[in-house]
Amino acid sequence: MTERELERRAQRRLGVLRHVEEVSGNVAATCRYYGISRQCYYGWLRRFEADGLDGLKDRSQRPHHSPTSSPKSAAGQRILELPTWAADMLRRRYASRVGDQVFPAPRSGTVRDRSNTGRCLRSAFARAGFAGLSSHAIRKSVATLMSEAGLSSRDAADQLGHSRPSITTDVYFGRNKRARGAAAVLEDLFDS
């Protein structure tokens, strides 16, 4: 966005603030008229009071910090059991890394932001012919395969980094499509 466009948007926002002051005297009515929320209006007002017209210019949407840069729970920090193909790939990545990160952000070389990682994964899945696939679907598939292989929900929870096996069982394990024995129970209802 050009500086001229930023200035134009800031002037429009200033016009909204002045409308309350000089025309309506009513924040709710002005917000309805301009199609903005009161929260938005008061945010603009705070920014204008703090920084003047520059405070009304668009700002970066990039977060100041990444609240999910570390795992949600202590269970998220764990040693994973990996198949040899995955361990070999990670060793190659580690050997060819530049800096501290094995999977750095492409431009900065620092820790990846979670939302950008998701975008990169979706793009990679689409290029591989799996458009619409998500990392959550992969996790669910891994948990289901572990369950079908006879591993316990605790084993799967440890691999997925869940603090409780119930999370793994309720959310990640695939459900059997057929309830065994249900037909026999229902048959008995009309067997008289």
pLDDT score of 74: 67
Whether 19 shows a pLDDT value over 90: the answer reads yes
pLDDT score of 67: 54
pLDDT score of 192: 53
Q: Which two tokens stand for residue 79?
A: 């040693």
Number of helices and strands in the chain (H, E): 9, 0
Encode pLDDT of 63-85 as tens digits: 655 555 566 666 567 788 888 88
Q: In whole angstroms, what is the distance from residue 90 CA to residue 162 CA?
A: 23
Q: Which two tokens stand for residue 124?
A: 């990679």
Q: What is the mean pLDDT of the chain?
A: 82
Q: In whole angstroms, what is the distance from residue 21 CA to residue 142 CA?
A: 59
Encode pLDDT of 174-188 as tens digits: 665 555 676 777 777
Whether 119 shows a pLDDT value over 90: the answer reads no
| Residues in the chain, overall count | 192
- 27 by Cβ neighbours in 10 Å (0-12 / 13-18 / 19+) ranks as middle
pLDDT score of 11: 92
pLDDT score of 161: 83
User: Is residue 61 classed as helix, strand or coil in its secondary structure?
Assistant: coil
pLDDT score of 100: 77
pLDDT score of 55: 87
Sequence-ordered list of residues with C-beta below 8 angstroms from that of 151, at least 6 positions apart, any chain: none
Q: How confident is the model at residue 42 (pLDDT cuts 50, 70, 90)?
A: very high
Q: Which two tokens stand for residue 177?
A: 């499509």
